Amino acid sequence: MDSDGYKQAWVRPSTLESLNRRIHDGVPLEELGARAADRRDTFFELLFPYARPAEGSKVLELGPGVGWIMEAMLDRYPIGEITGLDVSPVMIEQAQERWHDDRAKYVLYDGLHVPLEALRVAARRRPDRARGAADATPDEQRILRNFVVDGRLVRLPARHAQKQVVLGYVARRFEESRDYEEREVNELLRGFHDDTASLRRYLVDEGMLEREAGVYRRA
């Protein structure tokens, strides 16, 4: 492929599926999160553990694609902010459609000159937010601070152990030995996340809420 053809490959409109075939060798989308987590762990846990991001650190990734590594980094480490610097507006558009985290930003550049001012603006754009939960245990707080912002659940962790910590914290909002109608469950969960149906289902599936004849109770 000549240089013009290569350039057009990254700027022409594209779907997430076609981008996947182009840059990830056709690996199924549902496997890319696990592959990104494996590469993250190989780099920061096995090869260069001294380079693990410290709490609140700012991280820059060059060529983040649609953000799989960025997402994996935020899942594991207490990063304050991560910025992806990419030459492809198509990549950035698809990344922003695929997932969202307030700590993640994208900056477009020409591949030759690092846009320092754009990076400064991206760094200033994120307001201070209250992370985690004041009534959580220290062990819970280490997980919750990555997923609970200003008292709201911004997303669920991909890792099962972390997901259980987050769901366990949410489940404790329900009073013991009290029956809840589904409407009441939704009202309570809406304080954490807008997708109450999914959150309710996860709590039931993990055995943290019991459901019988449309009535819910904390397990």
Q: Does some domain include residue 109?
A: yes
Of residues 132 and 103, more confidence is placed in 103
Q: Is residue 84 part of a domain?
A: yes
User: Is 197 found in the same domain as 102?
Assistant: no
Q: Do 37 and 120 have their domain in common?
A: yes
Whether residue 35 lies inside any domain: the answer is: yes
Number of domains in the chain: 2
In terms of domains, do 72 and 161 share one? no
- Looking up tokens 């920061």, which residue turns up? 44
Residue 75 and residue 156 in contact, taking contact as beta carbons nearer than 8 Å: no
Q: Taking all residues of the chain, what is their mean pLDDT, rounded to a whole number?
A: 83
Residue 34 sits in the same domain as residue 78: yes
pLDDT at 45 > cutoff 90: no
Q: Are residues 155 and 108 in the same domain?
A: no
Domain holding 107, by residue range, is 3-125
Final residue before a domain boundary, out of 102, 125, 148: 125
Q: Please count the other Cβ atoms lying within 10 Å of the Cβ belonging to residue 120.
A: 10
Tokens of 48: 């260069």
3-state SS record for 114-171: CCHHHHHHHHHHCCCCCECCCCCCHHHHHHHCCCEECCEECCCCCCHHHHHHHHHHHH
Is position 132 within any domain? no
Residue 66, domain member (yes or no): yes
Q: Are residues 7 and 96 in the same domain?
A: yes
**Same domain, yes or no: 23 and 101:** yes
CATH of the domain at 95: 3.40.50.150
Rg (CA), the chain: 20
Do residues 18 and 117 both lie within one domain? yes
Residues 121 and 93 in one domain: yes
Rounded-to-integer distance, Cα 28 and Cα 141, Å: 33
Instruction: Let me know whether 173 and 71 are in one domain.
Output: no
Taking the complete model, does pTM exceed 0.75, yes or no?
no
Instruction: State pLDDT tens for residues 174-217.
Output: 999 899 999 999 999 988 888 888 899 999 999 999 999 889 99
* 69 and 160 fall within a common domain: no
Indicate whether 81 belongs to any domain: yes
Is 131 part of a structural domain of the chain?
no
Residue 96, in any domain of the structure: yes
Pair 147, 154: CB distance under 8 Å: yes
pLDDT tens-place string over residues 131-172: 778 788 888 888 888 888 878 887 788 788 888 999 999 999
Instruction: Give CA separation, 204 vs 63, 185, 194, in Å.
Output: 39, 12, 17
71 and 153, same domain (yes or no): no
How far, in Å, CA of 59 to CA of 120, rounded?
A: 13
Q: Are strands 81-86 and 104-108 parallel, antiparallel or unpaired?
A: parallel
